[in-house]
């Protein structure tokens, strides 16, 4: 019997749990509950070349173009060819995607796609519906450990033997496994304005860094152009599918902001975000004009609920106040096409991983598809690999941790204020160096995760991610995609 530990309960972690034979011992560990993940919040949909006239080759072209050709071509080919088969398989198992009146799958359009190929479920609630469906087909004998934090990886002789965890009561435990799969999401809460679930604080990236697991493309953070904004604060994503349905970006005077840009309102996200940021810095307010969309409330029920909850008068004004914010991380733990990391028996899937599929800028609605594809490839690799016959596991008492050092850390608010200004949408070499010099004042790399509070662990992990992004951005010879450095 093979024993597998999965860290993370979003689509990638939940989906891989469904793929193993019944004699596998599977445990899913998640920081909060199975309902708390970015996957549950994903509005846009799933991109898949399933419509007549479309093809994986066209999807591949769009993915490469959006990624500024920094993508791994083989990873992109794998995504666009395997993805539709996995979607078909889920449909055959009972997953309901939205359909047109004739019963055919309904395909939407989003930025930088050349075809209508975006599948939705319940309009703008695709991630929630898909993740909920996948979790419903997880076997009853698979163990869930909710409200449990993974503090460390157990690594011996270049091989991952399991994880060190802390539950909500503060109990620290070592859990051993033949294979460990990281599916812990990105680092969106490194920024004050974000679409991400509150649990997404770069934990998997920090775990990898502390254990010398190879990382890749750490400079590339995608900022989404349209977050609902009220009194300077953001309250969730306004899906790009709304622009795909005909909405346009305007300022307070009704000027069309993207009018003179190629692909206009459906340009790649990094292009739209920088344009909006520049417009905002000139003193303008930003809006999404939805006056051309018929039956808005029926098409976008999730967004509608959010607008009503925050008392946005969109029905009268036909405008939604927006601004850019952090959305998705293209970098992460370096993996091959089978989702294997640089450490044996350690896999990474979904947003925490970087197999190069997204390049320098993710194409809209490719993330849920990548969750499925990377999970499938990891499962196949694990099922073909031999069990770990070495039972000479290290015991918790033998794990050597650094001594109990008093934390010297910034406040979370101070850190996020600086990340937004200095490693945000537009960067400069001077600001990146100033930011790194500021980070040098703190001892986050010296702290032992099991000896600090949960709040300090979050700040520590975010500091590690921030340093990695800044150093990676400085190391790039030129601006590319989401890593835009002024003057370079």
Q: What's 343's DSSP letter? A: S
pTM reported for the whole predicted model: 0.94
DSSP-derived secondary structure for 377-437: HHHHHHHHSPP-----PPPGGG------PPP----HHHHHHHHHHHSSSSB-HHHHHHHHH
Q: Is CATH 1.10.10.10 what the domain over 402-475 is classified as, yes or no?
A: no
What Å distances lie between residue 185 and 20, 39, 349, 485, CA to CA? 21, 9, 9, 26
Bridge partners (DSSP) of residue 237 are: 227
**Coil/strand/helix, residue 225:** strand
User: How many C-beta atoms surround the C-beta of residue 286 within 10 A?
Assistant: 22
For residues 388 and 178, is the Cβ–Cβ distance under 8 A?
A: yes
- The secondary element (H helix, E strand) that includes residue 148 is strand 148-156
C-alpha span between 38 and 9 (Å, rounded): 10
C-alpha span between 74 and 337 (Å, rounded): 8
210 included as an active-site residue: no
Sign of CA dihedral 184, 187, 190, 194: negative
Torsion of CA 238, 242, 243, 248, to 10 degrees: -80
Q: What's 106's DSSP letter? A: P
C-alpha span between 345 and 3 (Å, rounded): 11
**Would you state the CATH architecture of domain 1-220+330-400?**
3-Layer(bba) Sandwich (3.50)
Task: Using alpha carbons, select from 32, 45, 38, 31 the residue that is nearest to residue 12.
Answer: 38
C-alpha span between 484 and 349 (Å, rounded): 26
For residues 301 and 323, is the Cβ–Cβ distance under 8 A?
A: no
User: How many C-beta atoms surround the C-beta of residue 245 within 10 A?
Assistant: 19
Give the model's pLDDT for residue 392. 53
Q: In what order do the strands lie in the sheet with 319-329?
A: 233-237, 221-230, 319-329, 286-289, 248-251
Sign of CA dihedral 434, 435, 436, 440: positive
What tokens appear for 199 in the block? 């649990």
Over its length of 488 residues, how does the chain's per-residue pLDDT go in tens digits? 899 999 999 999 999 999 999 999 999 999 999 999 999 999 889 999 999 999 999 999 999 999 999 999 999 999 999 999 999 999 999 999 999 999 999 999 888 899 999 999 999 899 999 999 999 999 999 999 999 999 999 999 999 999 999 999 999 999 999 999 999 999 999 999 999 999 999 999 999 999 999 999 999 999 999 999 998 888 989 998 899 899 999 999 999 999 999 999 998 888 899 999 999 999 999 999 999 999 999 999 999 999 999 999 999 999 999 999 999 999 999 999 999 999 999 999 999 999 999 999 999 899 999 999 999 999 999 999 998 765 555 555 445 555 578 999 999 999 999 999 999 999 999 999 999 999 999 999 999 998 999 999 999 999 999 999 999 999 998 999 999 998 87
Bridge partners (DSSP) of residue 29 are: 7, 145
Bridge partners (DSSP) of residue 71 are: none
Task: Using alpha carbons, select from 223, 236, 183 the residue that is nearest to residue 205.
Answer: 183
Q: Which long-range contacts (CB under 8 A, 24 or more apart) does 426-434 make?
A: 426/274, 426/277, 426/484, 426/486, 427/473, 427/483, 427/484, 427/485, 427/486, 428/485, 428/486, 428/487, 429/474, 429/485, 429/487, 429/488, 432/470, 432/473, 432/474, 432/485, 433/474
Domain 227-325 in this protein, CATH class: alpha beta
What tokens appear for 241 in the block? 């599918």
* Angle value at C-alpha 190, between 227 and 236, nearest 5 degrees: 20
Annotated domain spans of the chain: 1-220+330-400, 227-325, 402-475
- Residue from 210, 269, 274, 345 carrying the catalytic annotation: 269
């Amino acid at each position: 019997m093979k024993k597998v530990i999965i860290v993370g309960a979003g689509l990638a972690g939940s989906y891989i749990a469904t793929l193993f034979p019944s004699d596998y011992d599977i445990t899913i560990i998640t920081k909060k509950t199975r309902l708390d993940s970015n996957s549950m919040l994903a509005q846009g949909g799933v991109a898949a070349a399933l419509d007549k006239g479309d093809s994986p080759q066209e999807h591949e072209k769009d993915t490469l173009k959006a990624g500024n050709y920094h993508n791994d071509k083989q990873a992109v080919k794998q995504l666009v060819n395997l993805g539709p088969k996995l979607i078909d398989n889920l449909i055959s198992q009972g997953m309901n995607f939205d359909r047109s009146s004739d019963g055919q799958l309904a395909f939407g359009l989003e930025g930088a796609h050349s075809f209508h190929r975006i599948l939705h479920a319940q309009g703008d609630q695709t991630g929630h519906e898909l993740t909920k469906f996948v979790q419903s087909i997880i076997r009853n004998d698979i163990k869930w450990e909710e409200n449990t934090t993974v503090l460390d990886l157990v690594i011996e002789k270049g091989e991952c033997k399991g994880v060190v965890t802390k539950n909500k009561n503060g109990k620290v435990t070592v859990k051993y496994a033949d294979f460990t799969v990281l599916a812990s999401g990105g680092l969106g809460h490194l920024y004050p304005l974000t679409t991400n679930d509150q649990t997404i604080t770069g934990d998997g990236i920090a775990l990898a860094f502390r254990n010398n697991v190879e990382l890749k493309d750490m400079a590339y953070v995608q900022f989404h152009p349209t977050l609902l904004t009220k009194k300077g604060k953001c309250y969730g994503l306004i899906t790009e599918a709304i622009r795909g349905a005909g909405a346009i970006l305007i300022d307070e005077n009704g000027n069309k902001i993207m009018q003179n840009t190629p692909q206009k309102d459906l340009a790649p996200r990094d292009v739209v975000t920088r344009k909006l940021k520049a417009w905002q810095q000139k003193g303008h307010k930003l809006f999404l004009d939805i006056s051309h969309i018929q039956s808005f409330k029926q098409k976008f029920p999730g967004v509608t609920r959010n607008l009503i909850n925050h008392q946005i008068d969109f029905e009268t004004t036909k405008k939604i106040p927006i601004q850019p914010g952090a959305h998705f991380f293209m970098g992460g733990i370096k993996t091959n096409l089978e989702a294997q990391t640089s450490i044996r028996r350690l896999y990474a899937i979904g947003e925490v991983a970087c197999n190069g599929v997204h390049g320098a800028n993710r194409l809209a609605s490719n993330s849920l598809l990548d969750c499925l594809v990377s999970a499938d490839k990891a499962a196949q690799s694990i099922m073909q690999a031999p069990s770990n016959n070495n039972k000479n596991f290290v015991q918790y008492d033998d794990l050597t941790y650094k001594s109990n050092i008093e934390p010297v850390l910034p406040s979370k608010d101070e850190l996020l204020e600086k990340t937004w200004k200095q490693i945000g949408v537009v960067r400069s070499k001077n600001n990146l160096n100033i930011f790194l010099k500021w980070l040098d004042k703190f001892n986050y790399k010296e702290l032992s995760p099991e000896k600090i509070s949960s709040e300090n662990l979050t700040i520590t992990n975010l500091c590690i991610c921030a340093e990695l992004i800044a150093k990676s951005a400085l190391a790039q010879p030129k601006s590319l995609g989401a890593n835009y450095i002024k003057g370079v």
